[in-house]
Amino acid sequence: MSRRLLLLRGIVLVTAILGLNYIVWRWLFSVHWSAWWIAVPLVIAETYSLVDSLLFGMTMWRLKERGEPPPATPDQTVDVFITTYNEPLDLVLDTARAAVAIRYPHQTWILDDGNRPEMRDAAAELGIGWITRSPDWAGMPRHAKAGNLNNALQATDGEFLLILDADQIPSPDILDRTLGYFDDENVGLVQTPQYFVNVPESDPLGSQAPLFYGPIQQGKDGWNAAFFCGSNAVIRREALMQIGITRYVHEIGVGVDRALRSARSVLTAARKDLGDDEVGVRKAIDDVLYDVGRTRREIARGGALLDATYRFQTRVAEIRRQLVAADLQLVSADLDLIAELDQLAGMSDQSLATVSLEALDRATARDLSPLGAIEAVEALIRAVDVDRSDEAMPVMPMATISVTEDMATCMRMHGLGWRSVYHDEVLAHGLAPEDLESMLTQRLRWAQGTAQVMFRENPLVQKRLSWPQRLMYFGTMWSYLSGFAALVYIAAPVIYLTLGVLPVQALSTDFFIRLVPFLVVNQLLFFVAANGRPTWRGQQYSLALFPVWIKSVTSAFGNVFLRRDLDFSVTPKERKEFAVARWDLVRPQLIAMGALALAGVAGVVRLAVGQASWLGTSLNLVWVVFDLVIFSVIIRAVRYRGFEPPDSRPPDPSPSDASPTRAVAPARQPDRQPARQPASRRGSHRGER
């Protein structure tokens, strides 16, 4: 064990002990219940921050520094995918030329979701492949980048895939430095950092993520939870195809099982209305009920869905024919309902189980004859679309449950037992946003995608993941809730300085001897983990973007649970030139800054006239000043007018250059970086992305 890791573990233990001591004391002895309306939100926010800090500490507990990678095994087949939609032609071709120059034998493909003839012709001139959507996608959900990749997977056959965003210039040795990890047959993914060449040293938009693409991913790697970040990664095709097939079988199985459970409810309700003299009809329904149970058991044991459902439908059809012959006069009364159920069977929905539940509601809305009940059962089973006619492809290896495909795909990969590797070496250089609006659009999209995954496939309930893996994924998702905590942390000093309402019982010695050591050790943990990497800008944006984090969670919640359209935009592809500064983009932050500043003035006035204590006022003024320093990055971001490269830049690389660089093209943003790792206001580190 390295000295650094030993030191980290010691600090993590001390942080956990001090943090738990503080927060338990706060809940039991320090909450100012007479001012519960601010006291309770504050202690909840502090509890959130402690959990955030503990999750970060757990990540650092198994930080893995892999060092020199194993040599690449020769004769592997590799497809290099360059994903694009409407990026400038020259930008994509720069990446394509660098991809062609990769030394390890491979096939390069441009995945052109814009279906542009000029891109096809340019790819042909370079002698590389060009793939656009097949006709099967016409009129079907496209699933953005995930759909683009899924379409390409069906048209290629390489054992491994190197996935690059359109702006990510790869190094010629990127495959030589990553393929060796796949000698372990359990490795499904190797992720490398994302680094941006059009970012000034001051990084006014917080584009670089040195903490995430370093200690945080290394820590996750130690728990086998380093995840796919959308680009600059090599993936084993077998792992992706297993994800797609397993997911297909699971979703169809869930749909069939719910349909069968709904069928049992319909049949049970119909059986209750039978008279004592209807022995033959009762036996027919009992036979169908038995077949419902037998089919569910067969599927639960791993039986083939198609075979099980075909046998069930054949048996039900035979019983229906017997009932028709015995009781034709009951058919007419149920024709309307049967037609309605058949219409439901033709509906398309992302959730296979929804159709069955809707059909059950319809079927139980009125009394059914025995024949009507059996017809309803047939309609319920038909409602499960085994052929996935609502999708262009029945099998979708890349996850399509969110606006970002990477985290959900990798979480499913880990759930199937595959391992991931984080190789901490910059092997591709990309372009970051160069204006505030593009940056905000990008961050919102990342956050919304992560929140969608949290709501749809909460890692804490994924039984195939180990508990450390569940917590590693949950920690990233949890961090986006920091926007709500930030509101409380902003409001608390404003309320005290203007109204004199203290959310704690008293600013006593007990308070300070518990809080101060925890804050100091927590910041020490953050400092040691960073290991000299610049992280201040990331800490600023973790608080300054609180409106983005709040919007991401609320909009994702509305999309997943309330079926609302997701209010998001794809990241703009070119720098926007504004005649005036776009202060409207940061209105909530400006309001917060104004409230803090005015509260500071009010606090000084109240202190001068003897209406406030010196200790309380001083402490909250320090808090106000610190928050204003954090928010000051917003002023700089609004005024930023894009990257200005030095007068002398190296020329575009030749294929023989070892480390490709590029002159900065129009500001194309990478589709996604990973979600923010913990970034809380108090009692936690202020992590990056």
Query: For residue 48, is pLDDT > 70?
Result: yes
Neighbours of 136 (CB within 10 A): 12
Strand ranges for 325-449 from DSSP E: 419-422, 428-430
Please give the pLDDT value at position 643.
85
* Residue 581 structure tokens: 């500064």
Per the model's pLDDT, the better-predicted residue between 350 and 51 turns out to be: 51
What pLDDT, on a 0 to 100 scale, did the predictor assign at position 296? 87
- At residue 448, does pLDDT exceed 90? yes
E strand segments, 129-238: 129-131, 160-165, 169-170, 187-191, 195-196, 233-236
| Least confident window among 71-85, 97-111, 440-454, 573-587 | 573-587
Mean pLDDT of the region 559-563: 92
Give the span between the Cα atoms of 498 and 509, in whole angstroms: 24
On the question of pLDDT at 93 being above 60, the answer is: yes
Q: Residue 278: pLDDT above 50?
A: yes
Long-range contact pairs involving 181-184 (C-beta distance under 8 Å, separation at least 24) = 181/69, 181/70, 181/421, 181/423, 182/73, 182/76, 182/234, 182/236, 183/70, 183/73, 184/419
Percent of the chain with pLDDT over 70: 84
Mean predicted confidence (pLDDT) in 374-401:
81
Average pLDDT over residues 481-487: 96
- At residue 84, does pLDDT exceed 70? yes
- Which comes out higher in pLDDT, residue 274 or 410? 410
pLDDT at 687 > cutoff 90: no
Using 50, 70 and 90 to split pLDDT, how confident is the model at 354? very low
Crossing angle between the packed helical segments 614-639 and 436-456, to the nearest 10 degrees:
110
Minimum mean pLDDT range among 253-257, 436-440, 510-514, 639-643: 253-257
For 8, phi and psi rounded to 5 degrees? -60, -45
Report whether 415 contacts 462 (CB < 8 A). yes
**pLDDT band for position 57 (cuts 50, 70, 90):** very high
Q: What is the DSSP string of 295-351?
A: HHHHHHTT--HHHHHHHHHHHHHHHHHHHHHH-GGGHHHHHHHHHHHHHHHT---S-
pLDDT digits (tens, 9 = 90+) for 151-199: 999 999 999 999 999 999 999 999 999 999 999 999 999 999 999 999 9
What is the structure's pLDDT at 147?
Answer: 95
Query: What are the pLDDT digits (tens) for 223-259?
Result: 999 999 999 999 999 999 999 999 988 888 888 888 8
Please give the pLDDT value at position 251: 83
Distances (CA, A) of 649 to 99, 511, 526, 634: 21, 55, 35, 29
State the CB neighbour count (10 A cutoff) for residue 217: 28
pLDDT of residue 675: 35
Helix H, strand E, coil C: the string for 225-250 is CCCCCCCCEEEEHHHHHHHHHHHHHH
pLDDT of residue 100: 98
Residue 269: per-residue pLDDT? 83
- Whether residue 663 has pLDDT greater than 60: no
pLDDT mean over 633-643: 92
Residue of 87, 96, 253 lying closest to 162 (CA atoms): 96
Q: pLDDT tens digits, residue range 314-343?
A: 888 888 787 776 655 555 555 556 666 666
What backbone torsions phi and psi does residue 535 show, to the nearest 5 degrees? -130, 0
| Residue 252 or 81, more confident | 81
pLDDT exceeds cutoff 90 at 445: yes
Q: What is the mean pLDDT of the chain?
A: 86
DSSP single-letter state for residue 17:
H
Residue extents of the structural domains in the chain: 244-382
- At 398 the pLDDT is 96
Q: How many CB atoms lie within 10 A of CB 618?
A: 14
Q: What share of the chain has pLDDT > 90, as a percent?
A: 66
Cα dihedral 657, 663, 668, 674, rounded to 10, equals 50
Take residue 189 and report the two structure tokens written for it. Answer: 């993914």
How far apart are the C-alpha atoms of 159 and 688, rounded to whole Å?
34
Highest mean pLDDT, choosing among 290-299, 340-349, 420-429, 666-675: 420-429
Residue 106 near residue 97, CB atoms below 8 Å: no
What is the Cα–Cα distance from 483 to 489, expressed in whole angstroms? 10
Confidence of residue 54 (pLDDT cuts 50, 70, 90): very high
Task: Round to whole Å and give the CA distance between 29 and 44.
Answer: 14
- Output the pLDDT for position 315: 84
For 242-305, the DSSP string reads HHHHHHHHHHHHHHHHHHHHHHHHHHHHHHHT--TT-HHHHHHHHHHHHHHHHHHHHHHTT--H
Nearest Cα to 521, choosing from 26, 106, 20? 20
**Strand pairing of 129-131 and 160-165?**
unpaired
**pLDDT exceeds cutoff 50 at 679:** no
> Which one is predicted more confidently, 106 or 649?
106
**pLDDT one-digit tens code per residue, 401-426:** 988 889 999 999 999 999 999 999 99
What is the pTM for the complete model shown?
Answer: 0.84
pLDDT of the residue at 163 = 98
Say how far apart CA 451 and CA 447 lie, in whole Å: 6
- Give yes or no for a contact between 678 and 55, defined as CB atoms under 8 angstroms apart: yes
What is the rounded (10 degree) CA torsion for 426, 430, 431, 433?
A: -70
Mean pLDDT computed over 111-131: 97
pLDDT score at 651: 45
Res. 356 pLDDT band, cuts 50 70 90: very low
Q: What is the pLDDT of residue 332?
A: 54
In this prediction, residues 424-444 reach a mean pLDDT of 94
